[in-house]
Chains A and B, each alone.
Chain A
Amino acid sequence: MKGIILAGGMGTRLSPLTKVTNKHLLPVYDKPMIYYPLEKLVEAGLKDIMIITGPEYAGHFVNVLGNGEEFKVNLTYKYQKEAGGIAQALSLAEKFVDGESCAVILGDNIYEDSFKTAIQTFQTGMFSAYVFLKKVEDPKRFGVAEIVNGQLIGIEEKPAKPKSNLAVTGFYLYPPDVFDIVKTLKPSERKELEITDVNNHYVKGENMGYHLLKGFWTDAGTIDSLYRAAALVINSKK
Chain B
Amino acid sequence: MKGVILCAGKGTRLKELTKAIPKCLLPVYDKPMIYYSIEKLAQAGINDIIIIPNYDNEKLFRKALGNGDKFGVNLSYVVQYKTEGPVVALSLVKGCFYKKNIALLFGDNIFQDSLETVVKNFNGGAHVFLKKVNDPERFGIAELSKGKILSLEEKPEHPKSDYAVAGVYLYDSKVFDHIKNLKPASNGELGITDLNKVYLNNDELNFNVLQGYWVDAGTPDGLCSAGILSKVYRP
A-side residues, CB < 8 A to B, are 16-17, 19-22, 25-27, 29-32, 35, 57, 60, 63-64, 223, 226-227, 230, 234
Contact = CB atoms under 8 A, between A and B. Distances in A.
Nearest to B22: A20
Given A27-B26, A31-B16, A234-B224, A16 B32 contact: yes
A64 B27 contact: no
A25 B21 contact: yes
A35 B21 CA distance: 15
Nearest to B28: A17
Interface of B: 15-17, 19-22, 25-27, 29-32, 35, 60, 63-64, 220-221, 223-224, 227, 231
B224 A29 contact: yes
B30 A21 contact: no
22 contacts: A17-B27, A19-B32, A19-B63, A20-B21, A20-B63, A20-B64, A25-B19, A26-B27, A27-B17, A27-B220, A27-B223, A30-B17, A30-B220, A30-B221, A31-B16, A31-B17, A32-B17, A32-B20, A63-B19, A63-B20, A223-B30, A227-B227
Contacts, number: 63
Contacts of B63: 19-20
Contacts of B30: 17, 223
A21 B30 CA distance: 15
A37 to B, nearest CB: 15
A208 to B, nearest CB: 36
Given A16-B35, A21-B21, 18 more contacts: A16-B31, A16-B32, A16-B64, A17-B32, A19-B32, A20-B63, A25-B19, A27-B26, A29-B224, A31-B16, A31-B17, A35-B16, A57-B20, A64-B19, A64-B20, A226-B27, A227-B29, A227-B227
Contact of B19 (A20, A26, A32, A230): A32
Contacts of A30: 15, 17, 220-221, 224
Nearest to B25: A20
Contact of A26 (B21, B224, B231): B21
A16 B138 CA distance: 32
B227 A32 contact: no
A22 B21 CA distance: 10
A19 B16 CA distance: 19
A42 to B, nearest CB: 15
Nearest to A223: B30
Contacts of A27: 17, 26-27, 220, 223
Closest 5 CB pairs of A and B: A30-B220, A60-B20, A64-B19, A20-B60, A25-B20
A229 to B, nearest CB: 11
B125 to A, nearest CB: 37
Contacts of A26: 21, 26-27
Nearest to A25: B20
A223 B29 CA distance: 7
A25 B18 CA distance: 10
A22 B20 CA distance: 9
Contacts of B220: 27, 29-30
Nearest to B70: A16
A109 B197 CA distance: 50
Contacts of B25: 19-20
A60 to B, nearest CB: 4
Contact of B20 (A21, A29, A226): A21
Nearest to B59: A20
A60 B21 CA distance: 9
B27 to A, nearest CB: 5
Most buried by A among B21, B22, B35: B21
A14 to B, nearest CB: 8
Contacts of B224: 29-30, 230, 234
A162 to B, nearest CB: 29
B65 to A, nearest CB: 9
A171 B32 CA distance: 30
A24 to B, nearest CB: 10
A227 B21 CA distance: 18
Contacts of A21: 20-21
Contact of A17 (B19, B31, B221): B31
Most buried by A among B16, B20, B30, B223: B20
